[in-house]
Structure 1
Amino acid sequence: MIPAASQPSPDTHVDIPVALREPAHQVSPRAVPYWRVTALITASVVWIAALTTYALVPQRPWWSTLLLAVALLAPLAHVLVMPTLRFRIHRWEVTPTAIHTRAGWLTIENRVAPLSRVQTVDSTQGVLMRVFGLASLTVTTASAAGPITIDCLDHEDARRLVQELTEITGASEGDAT
């Protein structure tokens, strides 16, 4: 029991930490096959390099076969596990006052930026993203942490979000610094 003298009075303000809730929206479900294909492309390069090196080296030591197995299986595990896990983690939300993102799969990053600090809003769509109907949104803020990126939005959602953020930030006064 806390002695009466050390208990805060009812008029005393006590800061109670508030847990940051997760952002409301997931990225497009088409992100999973997109991430799987991009991981498969990267894995293919690793597999070709590993198999070529293995084939070209004469008189291989015994452990080179073990190394080849790891070089073939690790990218396969990445292709199979990463896209689904990443989809579960990636989320975003724009409120009237801030943009909030959560991204990653090994290291998870939460970013919240006040809309009053937004300087630019950019949308990008590479060739493979166009095939999957996806786009990425980059929101540059007056922050040393760098821009906030929302990867793999449905391209129509990205277009609407660019328009919405442009309207919100254009209506606010100041220079976003």
Structure 2
Amino acid sequence: MTTRAKHRPALIETAARLFRRQGYAATGTNEILAESGAPRGSLYYYFPAGKEEVGAAALEAAGKTVTRTLTALAAETSSPAEFVKAYLELLAGWLEQSDYRDGCPISTTLLETAPASQKITAAGQNAFRHWQAVIEAVLARHGWPEARRAGTANLILSAIEGALILARAAQSPAPLHAAAEELALILEQ
């Protein structure tokens, strides 16, 4: 691994984890450095523009992770309803495992930074576009009407993000389970 890339992945992963857990504003660059184990000064070495640049990189990386998860679930499930249920079940498990501390790093960060930070906003928009594309592909593969695919995918994505926020606030997986059941009913019609 080159010197240039040695600590970069740890900084990005740590920033994404801290942003999803405590938000962008509450996460300082010193905390990212300390938790990542990267040497002092390395954050600005890898990200000369500072926190905003590492923030955009963290959202990009987190977005790609979710896209890979959604793509894998799309390949493993036999219907849009099963796909949504499987993903919301994963989210419920991850949220419970974190003791309701972890949210979506994209939404959590965007709520604090958009539209003020163009870099972070663009990274978040890109993540959401990729997620929506995976959902649209699932719908298309199962014969969902073309005219309704984008709107239905947007509804699914919005319901997932909203249910995640509600579950975190309630410290209960119930909103995620309820969203899964209601979305499944819509998708099975």
Q: TM-score, normalised by structure 2?
A: 0.30
User: When you count helix as a share of all residues, which structure comes out higher?
Assistant: 2
Structure ranking higher in strand proportion: 1
TM-score (ref. length: structure 1)? 0.31
Larger Rg computed on CA atoms: 1
Structure with larger RCO (C-alpha < 8 A, sep 6+) = 2
